[in-house]
Amino acid sequence: MPTPMLTDYHVHLRPDEPGTEFGKFMTTANVDRFRAAAEEAGIAELGVSEHIHRFADALRIWDHPFWKENAVDDLGEYCAFVRGESDLRLGIEMDFVPGREDRIANVLEEHEWDYVIGSVHFLGHGALDWEEYDVWREGRSAEQIWKEYFATLAVAASSGLYDVMAHPDLVKHWGRDRPWPEGDLRRFYEPAVEAFVEAGVAVEISTAGLRKPVGEMYPSPAFIDMCVDAGLDFSLSSDAHVPIHVGHGFEVATALMNDLGIDRLCVFEGRKRRLEPVG
């Protein structure tokens, strides 16, 4: 049997909380902690993908108040640290902001990424997974919000800016604490899956949802199943922000992958991807 090839590409070296300055977490000692956790979990391919909103360059793209509060670090310094002082793959979690495609492209092309992760965390100014700007406060129905989320995800994939689409049903983040749509959810997934196929992007299987109020992986098994039928490729990630979460819940993910016949995972280098057997 070949050696299992596990990846964890959607990893943040520092937590989201205030007081987690760049200099405290972009250190070789911190990288060593993440690397040790990865080894423990049998993960050979480890990459980091800090949030774009942590960097001053984010404000060239968007001026959301949450970004203005957080965008203080130097993107070039981050890239230089990862390339120069670690053996990690270099990624970025780049939000999709509709209408700002050119600005996003301008920021991306200034650095040499191994991969770019595309995320939809906001609908307009409303946040999907951050209480302070909660999109659900606007009083819209589950049907409306879910439809808009997946439509935005489809536009994001079609933009050609991204290698892999992150946590592809993040709209469910709060679980039943927020309005939940009626019936078969596949009607929402369809336009996104179609756009993924057209754009040739990979789909992230993220165990982060297991630690969130919804208590299940992103995306749902039904979504993954549709992606399998459509011939899409997958990457596997934990969205860890602390070492203990590296590879978190991977036994749940690999069991599901096994059930759905997913036996290869994406490996990224210099924005090119290849597939490696899971083992």
Q: Which residues contact 279 (CB under 8 A, 6 or more apart)?
A: 1, 2, 3, 4, 5
Three-class secondary structure of residue 6 per DSSP: strand
Q: Which is nearer to Zn ion, 207 or 254 (CB)?
A: 207
Please identify, among the stretches 30-38, 89-97, 173-181, 244-252, the one whose residues bind Zn ion according to the rule CB under 5 A.
89-97
Q: Cβ of residue 206: shortest distance to Zn ion, in angstroms?
A: 8
Please identify, among the stretches 33-41, 102-110, 117-125, 265-273, the one whose residues bind Zn ion according to the rule CB under 5 A.
117-125
Q: Which is nearer to Zn ion, 148 or 239 (CB)?
A: 239
Neighbour tally for 110: CB within 10 Å: 10
Q: Cβ of residue 129: shortest distance to Zn ion, in angstroms?
A: 7
Q: Cβ of residue 226: shortest distance to Zn ion, in angstroms?
A: 21
Q: Which is nearer to Zn ion, 4 or 48 (CB)?
A: 48
Range 211-235 burial, b when 16+ CB lie within 10 A, else e = ebebeebbbbeebbbbbeeeebbbb
Q: Cβ of residue 170: shortest distance to Zn ion, in angstroms?
A: 7
Q: Cβ of residue 12: shortest distance to Zn ion, in angstroms?
A: 6
Task: State which of residues 86, 119, 235, 238 lies at the interface with Zn ion (CB under 5 A).
Answer: 119
Please identify, among the stretches 28-36, 84-92, 116-124, 224-232, the one whose residues bind Zn ion according to the rule CB under 5 A.
116-124
Helix residue spans in 41-99 (DSSP H): 65-70, 75-85
CB 195 within 8 A of CB 161: no
Q: Alpha-carbon torsion 52, 54, 60, 61, what sign?
A: positive
Distance CA 126, CA 56 (A): 21
Distance CA 141, CA 38 (A): 40
Q: Nearest-CA neighbor of 143 among 176, 179, 178?
A: 179
Q: Is 237 one of the binding residues for Zn ion (CB under 5 A)? A: no
Q: Is 239 one of the binding residues for Zn ion (CB under 5 A)? A: yes
Q: Which residue has the tokens 């749902």?
A: 220
Note the maximum CA span of the chain.
53
Number of residues this chain uses to bind Zn ion (CB under 5 A): 3
Q: Cβ of residue 240: shortest distance to Zn ion, in angstroms?
A: 9
Q: Is 206 one of the binding residues for Zn ion (CB under 5 A)? A: no
Task: List % helix, strand, coil for the chain (3-state, nearest 5).
Answer: 45, 20, 35
Q: Cβ of residue 193: shortest distance to Zn ion, in angstroms?
A: 19
Q: Which is nearer to Zn ion, 165 or 195 (CB)?
A: 165
Report the interface residues with Zn ion, using CB under 5 A: 93, 119, 239
